[in-house]
Structure 1
Amino acid sequence: MSSKQPETGQRPEPCEGYLVTPPLLQASSFADRLDRALAMLPIAAVRLRLAPSDPDSMKRTIHDIRLVVDQHDAALILDGLPELVRETGCDGAHVEAEDIAAARKILGNDFQLGASCGLSRDLAMLAGEKGADYVAFGPFGAEPEADGLALLNWWREVMELPVVAEYRPASDATDLVHTAMLQTLAATADFLALGITAEGEAFDALWQTPEKFLPLFTESVES
């Protein structure tokens, strides 16, 4: 995941997708939907969230999901669990901003490392200083979030570190594909994270009809 920082207010190209899975106990229940989304959308990375299980089962799930992701030339990022990245052939890990230093010590410099920063500029700057390769702001819902959008826009204009905007609507929200918030996030961030709701469940509008989200990543937009 590399930055596409513009030199002016005009974005040179649309943002890329960043898929986030619901917690998976095994790959078979989700592999087909993941494969379809990866085939339909320009996805830079997939963040795999694992349901609690024994270590061997978790490694099998990672292995099976990695086979799907590798077919589409996307990066596979583990949600937490940096200690499993090297062992399972993943591309990196995603942790809380406060855990970046410890995770970087585990991973060394050969793997990608992302940080969840909420809507905190200070946490994002700290994560960058401690070795994060990208920061993630959010989650953003379907409703306007002026302070969060201001932070996202400021970061992308001022900082070189790539930024991910996390979109997590409420499960019962309507018109999930074409909300002004979703379009604004796509026009502002380097990467748009989709895949789960505010409750942490599968964002069905995305997984069932990924093609509806394609315009977010293909249309020229202004930041």
Structure 2
Amino acid sequence: MGKPVLGILASGRGTNLQSIMDAIAEGQFSAEIGLVITDNPKAKALERAQMAGIANICVERKKFAKREVFEQSLIAELRKHHVEHIVLAGFMRILSPVFIREYKNHILNIHPALLPSFPGAHAHRDVLAYGVKISGCTVHFVDEGMDSGPIIIQAAVPVMDDDTEDTLAARVLKQEHIIYPRAIALYLDGKLKIEGRRVFIKE
């Protein structure tokens, strides 16, 4: 039986992609990254994939008149590379119900806040504006809502009085690089059971 094949969707620097590649290299879990897709031709994630010898492609949203056609292109590329499981690593687009149903309960995402608080694209800004004392990150299954899928694991970090968005983001990112590979390992090992909104970890 072959290794599970992951498809990584990213839009930016690719640091979570790197943490996943490192985790595979270190034997934290057994998987193959079949394809890295970005929607941003300048994404450093493309460089990271190229340097690692991983198939990669940029599919720009602006080249498609409709989101449905854009997403069908994504799905076609994923199928071409035999991808079974989707890992969102800083992919800055909301996926439609059509895409999500195609990979139901097989899409993982990491969000830089303690969901269900502060969903959306500006989590660190919102955290600081609200004045909370604890923030963190969340790995969750992706459903048809905005950062609303069942939560797998979370990690907390303190919010300092002198934090900026950048300093808070850097502290949270360190935890992202720890918990995302851990969550992927649990998922691929079949140790996650979804019941309603709750995810149970089977030992």
- State the TM-score bracket (shorter-chain normalisation): 0.3 to 0.5
Q: State the structure with bigger RCO (CA 8 A, min sep 6), 1 or 2.
A: 1
Q: Return the TM-score normalized by structure 2.
A: 0.37
Q: Return the TM-score normalized by structure 1.
A: 0.34
Which is richer in helix? 1
Which is richer in strand? 2
